[in-house]
Structure 1
Amino acid sequence: MTSLTTLKRPPRASHVGSLLRPKYLFDKRKALRAGECQLEDLKPLEDDAIKHVLKLQQDAGIKAVTDGEMRREIFYEGVFDKLGGLAYIPDRPIATFKAYIPRFKVMHDAGVEDAPTYFCNGKLKRTQPFYVEDFKYLKSLVPPEDVKFIKITMCSPSWFHQRHGSDLTYDLSVYKNDDEYFDDMGKAYREEIKELYELGCRHIQIDDPTFCYFCHDNMITDMGKAGVDYHALLDTYIRAINVVTADRPDDLIISVHMCRGNFKGGVHFSEGGYGRIALKLFNNLDVDAYYLEYDTERAGDFSPLMHLPLGKVVVLGLVTTKDPKLELIEELKARVYLAVDVLCGGVPKRSREAALDQLAISTQCGFASVWEGNPVTEEDERRKLSLLVETAKQIWPNETA
């Protein structure tokens, strides 16, 4: 039986990572889009915005703080644009994007001719840090004893591969297969993680919308029509993350957040419960914690949690970032206890105490995965973060949230 001290667990209440940009940064980013300023003009405003959202998190009682992704235009920025071996293509033909991916099916059907992406035309390597400077800045703003609570979010290594598949992601004269491609990608990620760890980082969150695509029935059907084995591709993407997380320090938490889409205005792209992927995801993916979206019926019920092994944590994303309506504490608590019931009857069976220890709560996604943000206000954001903390205090009264 899992003891209450063996789990590498995020704090009981947290948010996924991105936060709404303060108006002055929002307006400046808008001006950048209009060609009215330069990218470097944003930095002092980003610095101030990070201080602002840090205080917002601290005031709400959130322990695992982020910089809100204030320096990013979109959640995946900062990795692929910095990796050596990738060429940015602003207008790649839409025919090279897999039409079975939900968001690209919409583009195909709408007659879109091209879209921006990356193509691997050389050996992948980390030629510069991804988020080291971002971590250093946030580290300078918190007391030394709180540095270990800083969470860095980074995009999954599969993000651009799922757009183009094994045939059109990389030059076949550079990589013969996906394993070679993801081995070098994973090496670059591990180098980044090593440097972050040496600076004091103890929590890395990998943001992965790709896994939830496998929950989407229409995509699975369309993949079959295209002759793509979804079982094999799922295994490929699990392995891609395992290469990233291999040989990590014992005191480093690595979590994965599975997103159904959080585009402009909070638009989602995929639906369906976790049942199709849960057994492999919980048992084969080498991470410590899973941030799962559970704010709407499109995520399904808690039954897939029966596959969660001992020694891992699920962070239930019960509070939505897509709607200003504030959830009720009693309803959130009731849902957590429903998840406990499933875990107790899972494989292996466990006590209610042990099951509750394997859970935490969070928002279902970020408040601003793209800089424009979701249709909520900063006050809504503040209230939802405070709600998470208060709910956690009531569920786990003997712990700090």
Structure 2
Amino acid sequence: MQRTRPPFRADMVGSLLRTERLKEARHRHHQGALSDATLKEIEDEEIRKVIQRQEDVGLQAVTDGEFRRAYWHFDFLEHLDGVTSIEADSGMNFKGGIGITKALRITGKIGFSGHPMIEHFRFVKDNTSRVAKMTIPGPSMLHYRGGRKMMNAGVYPDMDRFYADVGAAYNKAVHAFYDAGCRYLQLDDISFAYLCDPEQREMLRQRGDDPEKQPAIYAGMVREALKDKPEDLTITMHLCRGNFRSTFIASGGYEPVAETLFNAMPVDGYFMEWDTDRAGGFEPLRYLPKGKTVVLGLVTSKTGTLESKDDIKRRIDEVTKYADLDQLCLSPQCGFASTEEGNILAEEEQWAKLRMIVEVAKEVWG
């Protein structure tokens, strides 16, 4: 049975490989050789094209591919009140030694006073006949990577106040997107998956956080963010273990966070990574309550190799040992370009994967 509201049987996480024209324009703009207005014109044109491609492959929900962003998370978080971007070791050291040299510092009280991405969403909504989907980082992402060391002294002597302020700021953001017409909003809250990795848990412990307590703390922030959520607003959460130029950070099954993940937050659906054995088995889905949906990330966005339809169907069948088929959907395990550099595959390979997902969804769910 197909679904009339998101998440849809065939869906996608959000980001798409940047086109060569867009990459060139953003590079020239960064070098000071292209004006803000001209860059926006090119972004608008390329986003219209990528929306059309998503519609053409049969997706029911479309995004702007995050074409106006350099990073999936920084570009949103740095526009919250009290947050400043800096050049520093972000702590995001991917396997293979790849690191990111941008970070965020808390320089004042966290708040929400409007955001440029509201207009980014409106542009998508105005240029599609499908459901316009918006993706933003989850509230925990303002804390997970840096922790207290990335806060100016004296701004938040009480961490509970910080968590509360972040939740309240996100609540304003959620309602601002809703007022702009958004009915499908995704929180990319990957910290819940990172908390399943013993190395990541030890990292938190070494800096003074308690990895046993952080899932409940982060869930509390999400509950605050979604307080008074309108009934016709679908909220999904995306979890992965890192995605930067086809590399990753974390490993480990969802068991340590499954009960909190599925039952402690008023989230409608979950995009969950299961493209490799690093994500463990499907057993944690036994905690999934009725009325919630899991979008199975069985198709990898990290390589161009096209999965076998039969293999995907066999894995979906395996999942039904733990969750009802009607509570399941299908997508890539992550975006294709969490940063503007993108993963290591070709654009046509990206579209072939999305097309295959649509075809499998029709064959499995009708």
TM-score in terms of structure 2 length: 0.92
1:374 aligns with 2:343: yes
- The verdict on how the C-alpha distance between 1:38 and 1:267 changes in structure 2, with shifts beyond 3 A counting, is farther
1:18 equivalent to 2:19? Answer no
| Structure-2 separation of matches of 1:228 and 1:180 | 16
Shift of 1:138: 1.2
Matched, 1:159 2:145: no
Asked whether the equivalents of residues 8 and 312 of structure 1 are also in contact (C-alpha less than 8 Å), the reply is no
Question: Is residue 2:273 matched to residue 1:293?
Answer: yes
- Contact in 1 for aligned 2:306/2:353 (Cα 8 Å): yes
- Conserved 8 A contact 2:92-2:145: no
Q: Secondary structure at the match of 1:49?
A: helix
Superposed, which structure 2 residues align to 1:211-250 within 5 Å?
A: 211-224=192-205, 228-250=209-231
Shift of 1:12: 0.6
Structure 2 SS opposite 1:230: coil
Corresponding residue number in structure 1 for 2:59: 62
Say yes or no: does 1:361 pair with 2:312: no
SS at match of 1:256: strand
CA offset at residue 33 of structure 1?
Answer: 4.4
Instruction: Give the AA of the match of 2:171.
Output: R
Q: How does 1:88-107 map to 2 (within 5 A)?
A: 88-91=85-88, 103=93
What corresponds to 2:117 in structure 1? Answer: 131
Are 1:304 and 2:284 counterparts? yes
Going from structure 1 to structure 2, the CA distance change for 1:186 and 1:275 (only over 3 Å counts) comes to same
**C-alpha distance in 2, partners of 1:124/1:44?**
32
How many residues align structurally? 366
Q: After alignment, is 282-291 or 192-201 more displaced?
A: 192-201
Q: Aligned partners of 2:16 and 2:317: how far apart in 1?
A: 28
Greater CA deviation, 232-241 or 15-24? 232-241
Summarize the alignment of residues 1-400 of structure 1 with structure 2, pairs less than 5 Å apart. 9-91=6-88, 103=93, 115-143=101-129, 146=130, 149-165=131-147, 167-171=148-152, 173-224=154-205, 228-263=209-244, 265-343=245-323, 355-397=324-366
Equivalent position SS for 1:276: coil
- In the alignment, structure 1 segments of 5+ residues that lack a partner are 344-354
Which secondary structure does the structure 2 equivalent of 1:163 belong to?
coil
Whether the 8 Å CA contact 2:94–2:249 is kept in 1: the answer is no
TM-score, scaled relative to structure 1:
0.84
Q: What is the RMSD of the two structures over their aligned residues, measured on CA atoms?
A: 2.5
Change (3 A) 1:130 1:183: farther
Q: Deviations over 1:73-105 (max 9, x none)?
A: 1111432221111233324xx5xx7xxx66289
Cα deviation code 1:226-254 (max 9, x no counterpart): 55421111211111112111210111110
Percentage of identical aligned residues = 37
CA–CA distance in structure 2, aligned partners of residues 10 and 256 of structure 1: 10
Deviation track 1:27-77 (CA, whole Å, cap 9, x = no partner) reads: 222334455445554211110110111011001000111011010011114
- Residue range with higher mean Cα deviation, 253-262 or 72-81: 72-81
| 1:123 counterpart SS class | strand
